[in-house]
Amino acid sequence: MNFDPRFSGRKFASVGTRPIRPDGVDKVTGRARYGADFNMAGQLVGRVLRSPHAHAIIRKIDTSKAEALSGVKAVITAADLPDLTDGDAAMYDILDNCMARTKALYDGHAVAAVAAIDARTARQALKLIEVDYEVLPHVTDVDEAMAHHAPLINDTIFTEGLEQKPAKASNVTKRSQFGHGDVHQGFGAADFIVERSFKTEQTHQGYIEPHACVANVSTDGTADLWVCTQGHFVYRQHCAQLLGMEASKLRVTSSEIGGGFGGKTHVWAEPVALALSRKAGRPVKLVMTRDEVFRASGPTSATSIDVKIGARKDGTITAAEATLRYSAGPYAGSWAEIGAMTAFACYKLDNVKTVGYEVLVNRPKTAAYRAPSAPMAAFAVESAVDELAKEIGIDPVEFRIRNAAQEGTRSSYGPVYGPIGIGPTLEAVKNHAHMKAPLKANQGRGMACGFWFNFGGQTCVDLNIGMDGSVSLAVGTVDVGGSRASLSLVAAEELGIDYTQLKAVVADTSSLGYNDMTDGSRGTFSSSMATISAARNAIKILRERAAQMWDISVDDVVWEQGHAVAKGEKHGNLGKLSLKEIAAKSGTTGGPIAGHSELVADGAGVSFATHICDVEVDPETGSTRVIRYTVVQDAGKAVHPTYVEGQYQGGAAQGIGWALNEEYIYGKDGRLQNAGFLDYRIPVCSDLPMIDTQILEIPNPNHPYGVRGVGETSIVPPLAAIANAVSNAAGVRMTHIPMSPPRILAAIEAEREG
């Protein structure tokens, strides 16, 4: 990578402005095409048969009656998706999750699929498939799954991370541990200790657009896939591997995306649609229903967390410890490990220890949800921090400022921090008008901090200059939050042209080099770095072409504000050449002008946020309304401030839903009871106040413009901030998320009864 990513401290003309996004008009007029909006001639309808059991051996599947039904063109089972994973355990889990092989591991696990001429026929065919199940005992609760008597979900799992391999299989796939110092000694030095246990229920990302794709496998073995995804290049890799194809023979085009938040980083329906198309010899469209999205895509972990924090009278934390148990669904994951790494990352601690346990349960395979695992850990830790401040008698903001990590602090997960933004977000909150606003009866205020790592990754961008001087920008990171606008601003900044002269698109997998997912808050961070690099490469060519047009040395040509300028006294009479003028002559000066970039964007820089929340709790019903909410977060540099604010507001809104209402409810039979938006209640506009934002800009030293990722951190503090607000309003510490009205009422009544 011949590109210097270091922060340069330049002044900006385009970056930091707020133009309308290029995809905006199509989205508000209904023209934008999402996953289910693509159709092909001769297309069939795909439908999936799902297990009604939480845990069952599949003895036999008889598809003969379904296959005989008129209009059915293909029926598949696991036999049509043979194991080609070559010992790759993670890929095998993905394969098994797409189509159960020997056991159904959760309510909703796919066991067969059909492709038929219409939806009615496909539904009829599903009813004709006969599955002989041997129902097994199941477990859906994270704590119960760890008990010795719990039904074993996978008898080949022996807990990793223990000093000695255990003698017995268990549902705990891994133990991980982080920290430094001596917590026993630290607690010994404490004047006050708070020790609490917390629980959070499983939630779904709640994206409005369900998973949808159209697959078309040709008889020559090549294929096209049109799909709603956060990462079409990764989908191509996974689908190609699972179906035994060469990746280059599968072209994947990403549609517009109606929300992903980590939930569209894994394949579920796509390999099934491709296998159906391969068998039927026709295109197959497969769209999940909302019921299927809830039962069979990838929600976040349910958790059970114990926290212990000690501090001296002067407000210095002396020790902090947490044990975190995260559900992973029926396949191994690293969700508790992330929770253990992030739990105390906001604080300067001499003695800290966190232990994480990954726990198998008969629920859908856990997927990432926006700063995965961090919100639950922050809920537990920030609740205990608030309680400890109260016990000591220190203002909770002052307490956090006194213990906040800073440059040079050893993080709780290991390394020493460089320049970080937790201190500035806390100072901003301390001085924010929100903190001084009066509260009425039954109202409470809470605040909390949050941390997320942020990531970069493999990235590729093409920048093509048309003969009319307009510029096409082809990027490979799916636009989940306005990145086409941000990247256009970055290209405009580098080229010195107007934003309206550019058009950014998300290219398909056959048109651009490999790109990692849009995850880890990396879309704008990574692709802006590649866009800067591509634009600088294009400028080099523009200078060469101008030199040709002037018949002078390229060394005498500089690029200034969208123009080639000849420098030096001997070229004093030459006027500037605009990008448009150079482009118009490109056919005779060497052909098309373009800039390309392929790089690994690394050094994303960690991110911090602090949120303030006011709630009003009705003591008669336990109902809670969020009446004011403020997000303060470090963006490094806000390329398009409106879309940065949108990320802040979106994270807060999702966090409010998670904190107050959302939860997967399983019956004793192991079946999901509320697989729909009527019974799984996400917040709508009328539930929310205007969410205020304050963008801090502490430059990331590892990006030319100082950009940091902003997409995920905003969901980390809300659970804790709202829990602290509700606890202050209700006068009782809330320890179980969501704080739904029955839980709040029960807590108030328990407190009254002493």
Partner 1 sequence: MVEVTLWGALSQVAGGNSKVEVEAKDIRELFRKLAEQYPGLEPWIDRGIAVAIDGTIYRDTWSKELPPGAEIFLLPRLAGG
Looking at the Cβ atoms of 455 and 559, the one nearer to partner 1 is 455
* Cα gap 319→310, rounded to integer Å: 5
Closest to 545 measured CA to CA, from 498, 478, 507, 592: 592
Selected from 95, 267, 371, 504, the binder of partner 1 by CB under 8 A is: 371
Site for partner 1 in 105-164 (CB under 8 A): 160-161, 163
Looking at the Cβ atoms of 45 and 355, the one nearer to partner 1 is 355
Looking at the Cβ atoms of 506 and 517, the one nearer to partner 1 is 517
How far from 97 is each of 241, 553, 671, CA to CA, in Å? Answer: 15, 61, 17
Selected from 106, 357, 399, 453, the binder of partner 1 by CB under 8 A is: 453
* Minimum CB distance to partner 1, residue 368 (Å): 3
Looking at the Cβ atoms of 304 and 526, the one nearer to partner 1 is 526
* Minimum CB distance to partner 1, residue 202 (Å): 15
* Minimum CB distance to partner 1, residue 413 (Å): 7
Looking at the Cβ atoms of 201 and 519, the one nearer to partner 1 is 519
* Minimum CB distance to partner 1, residue 635 (Å): 16
1 near partner 1, rule: CB under 8 A:
yes
303 near partner 1, rule: CB under 8 A:
no
Looking at the Cβ atoms of 562 and 605, the one nearer to partner 1 is 605
Stretch that binds partner 1, among 132-140, 388-396, 446-454, 557-565 (CB under 8 A): 446-454
x/- map, 156-175, partner 1, by CB under 8 A = ----xx-x----------x-
Closest to 80 measured CA to CA, from 220, 243, 225: 243
Beta strand residue intervals within 635-734, DSSP E = 691-696
DSSP symbol at 180: E
Closest to 54 measured CA to CA, from 132, 113, 129, 140: 140
Site for partner 1 in 372-411 (CB under 8 A): 372, 411
Sheet order of strands, 607-617 included:
443-452, 607-617, 624-634, 691-696
* Minimum CB distance to partner 1, residue 418 (Å): 4
454 near partner 1, rule: CB under 8 A:
yes
* Minimum CB distance to partner 1, residue 456 (Å): 7
176 near partner 1, rule: CB under 8 A:
yes
x/- map, 674-713, partner 1, by CB under 8 A = ----------------------------x---------x-
* Cα gap 316→190, rounded to integer Å: 9
CA dihedral 574, 577, 582, 588 (to 10 degrees): -10
Residue with tokens 């179906």: 243
458 near partner 1, rule: CB under 8 A:
yes
207 near partner 1, rule: CB under 8 A:
no
Stretch that binds partner 1, among 13-21, 312-320, 332-340, 660-668 (CB under 8 A): 332-340
455 near partner 1, rule: CB under 8 A:
yes
Task: Indicate left, alpha or beta for 454 from its phi (over 0: left) and psi (-120 to 50: alpha).
Answer: left
Selected from 413, 643, 658, 666, the binder of partner 1 by CB under 8 A is: 413
87 near partner 1, rule: CB under 8 A:
no
* Cα gap 697→34, rounded to integer Å: 34
Residue type at 366 in one-letter notation = T
40 near partner 1, rule: CB under 8 A:
no
Selected from 268, 452, 629, 705, the binder of partner 1 by CB under 8 A is: 452
Site for partner 1 in 222-281 (CB under 8 A): 261-263, 265
Length of the chain: 754
* Minimum CB distance to partner 1, residue 417 (Å): 5
Q: Please report, in angstroms and rounded to a whole number, the separation of the first and last CA atoms in the chain.
A: 65
Size of the site for partner 1 (CB under 8 A): 50
177 near partner 1, rule: CB under 8 A:
yes
Interior angle at CA 210, CA 204 and CA 212, nearest 5: 140
Task: Indicate left, alpha or beta for 509 from its phi (over 0: left) and psi (-120 to 50: alpha).
Answer: alpha
Selected from 108, 421, 457, 706, the binder of partner 1 by CB under 8 A is: 457
Can you read off the two tokens belonging to residue 753?
A: 């009864």
Pairing of strands 577-578, 563-566: antiparallel
334 near partner 1, rule: CB under 8 A:
yes
CB distance 356 to 301 below 8 Å: no
Can you read off the two tokens belonging to residue 117?
A: 């001429």
648 near partner 1, rule: CB under 8 A:
no
Selected from 415, 438, 572, 754, the binder of partner 1 by CB under 8 A is: 415
Neighbour-count burial for 251-267, b at 16+ CB within 10 Å, e otherwise: bbbbbbbbbbbbbbbbb
3-class DSSP state for residue 175? strand
How far from 247 is each of 250, 387, 555, 599, CA to CA, in Å? Answer: 5, 53, 43, 20
* Cα gap 627→688, rounded to integer Å: 8
* Cα gap 689→456, rounded to integer Å: 33
Site for partner 1 in 586-625 (CB under 8 A): 600, 602-606
Stretch that binds partner 1, among 106-114, 452-460, 464-472, 716-724 (CB under 8 A): 452-460
Q: Prior bond to 330 cis, omega within 30?
A: no
351 near partner 1, rule: CB under 8 A:
no
544 near partner 1, rule: CB under 8 A:
no
Closest to 40 measured CA to CA, from 288, 282, 289, 287: 282
* Cα gap 724→704, rounded to integer Å: 38
CB distance 236 to 264 below 8 Å: no
Looking at the Cβ atoms of 315 and 657, the one nearer to partner 1 is 657
Site for partner 1 in 476-535 (CB under 8 A): 517, 519-522
* Cα gap 136→105, rounded to integer Å: 10
Q: What is the DSSP string of 108-148?
A: T-EEEEEEESSHHHHHHHHHH-EEEEEE------HHHHHST
Selected from 82, 393, 414, 575, the binder of partner 1 by CB under 8 A is: 414
Looking at the Cβ atoms of 263 and 655, the one nearer to partner 1 is 263
* Minimum CB distance to partner 1, residue 159 (Å): 11
Q: Which residues bind partner 1 (CB under 8 A)?
A: 1, 160-161, 163, 174, 176-178, 205, 261-263, 265, 334, 337-338, 341, 367-372, 411, 413-418, 452-458, 517, 519-522, 600, 602-606, 702, 712
